[in-house]
Amino acid sequence: MTITTENPIIDLFLDALWMEKGLSQNTLSSYRRDLKLFDQWLQCTASPGLLQVQPSDIQSYLAARLRDQKSPRSTARLLSCLRGFYQYQLRESKIALDPTLDIDSPKLPMPLPKSLSETEVEELLSAPDVEVPLELRDRAMLELLYASGLRVTELVSLRMGQLSLTQGVVKVMGKGSKERLVPTGEEALYWMQRYMQHGRPLLLGTHMSDVIFPSRRGTMMTRQTFWHRIKLYAQRAGIKKTLSPHTLRHAFATHLINHGADLRVVQLLLGHSDLSTTQIYTHVARERMKELHTQHHPRG
């Protein structure tokens, strides 16, 4: 049997997806790979073509992936891709029924975001040498990140019109173009004021820019550059934990909840549209309490 590796039906779907939703090239590549593998499996098993499959064919494919020990997360992504593909075909009147309609997604374990203790955060924030303009900028960025729970992308893209030093708030345009006002806190406000007076003018030099945290060239810093800066300071502070670009955002939320903050307030500060997304931090707080109990209780 000849296995066809290219299928114009897949290309048409991906083109439509790109035009409708503007998905990234990485996401489109993942969808292409998932659909091609499913199409090839159908051909190898003499199953019907992509537009003729039944729910039982998809169940068989999912079972085959389970035998191959594919992760539940990749299977959930595959199923999401298939759902989008068949909903598109249904809209285009290429099929009469969506074969994914009654297929449940695999249950995924709730990942607990990696966080830092309050002591580790203090050490990280104190790592930059604030006598150096570049590191003063980084100190202000780290302080603002921890004080406000911004996403790294939101932080590096901040412009002057979004910051009010007199009111101590930043106006953030988050995911889905949703705007929110976030307080900076006194400590972050102090470092922001110090940076704006003694760091930013020296960094900009003759460059003109309204970016709050410019790079050495006076342009907007990339999130990757800032991530490298975080790793530099973590190493300098002797922090051995594996960090992510969102580590301080996670620490912000976890420490707020540890100190009794209302979950809905944390949801608003983080810019989560769904409370269930924020609830993961209550799990982090519970895990931390269990850990402390085990360490310090005489019968732990």
Give Dmax (Cα) for the chain. Answer: 72
pTM greater than the 0.95 cutoff = no
Give the Cα separation of 15 and 72 in Å (integer).
Answer: 27
Read off the tokens for 277: 């997304």
Full pLDDT tens readout for the chain, 300 residues: 444 557 888 989 998 888 887 777 888 888 999 999 999 999 888 778 889 999 999 989 988 888 888 887 788 888 889 999 999 999 999 999 999 988 877 665 555 556 788 899 899 999 999 999 999 999 999 999 888 888 888 999 999 999 999 998 888 876 666 778 888 889 999 999 999 999 999 999 888 899 999 998 888 999 899 989 999 999 999 998 888 777 887 887 777 777 776 667 666 677 655 555 545 555 555 555 455 445 544 554
Structure confidence at residue 109 (pLDDT): 56
For tokens 């760091």, the residue is 199
Q: Is the dihedral of CA 277, 279, 285, 291 positive or negative?
A: negative
The b/e string for 220-229 (b: 16+ C-beta within 10 A; e otherwise) is bbebeebbeb
DSSP string, 240-282: -SPP-TTHHHHHHHHHHHHTT--HHHHHHHHT-SSHHHHTHHH
Measured distance CA(248)–CA(124) in Å, rounded: 10
Q: Which among 189, 184, 187, 191 has a CA at the least distance from the CA of 130?
A: 191
Residue of 151, 200, 229, 255 marked catalytic: 151
Q: Out of 65, 200, 229, 249, which one is annotated catalytic?
A: 249
Catalytic site residue 195? no
Closest Cα partner for 58 from 83, 33, 88?
A: 83
Q: Show the domains of the chain with their CATH numbers.
A: 8-91 (1.10.150.130), 120-245 (1.10.443.10)
β-partners of residue 170 are 163, 182
- Residue 128's nearest CA partner among 115, 112, 145, 113 is 145
Question: Is 70 annotated as catalytic?
Answer: no
31 catalytically annotated: no
Are 268 and 180 in contact by the 8 Å Cβ rule? The answer is yes
Whether residue 246 lies in the annotated active site: yes
Q: What is the spatial distance between Cα 189 and Cα 220, in angstroms, rounded to a whole number?
A: 21
Token output for 161:
């019109």
pLDDT of residue 19: 82
Catalytic residue among 175, 207, 286, 290: 175
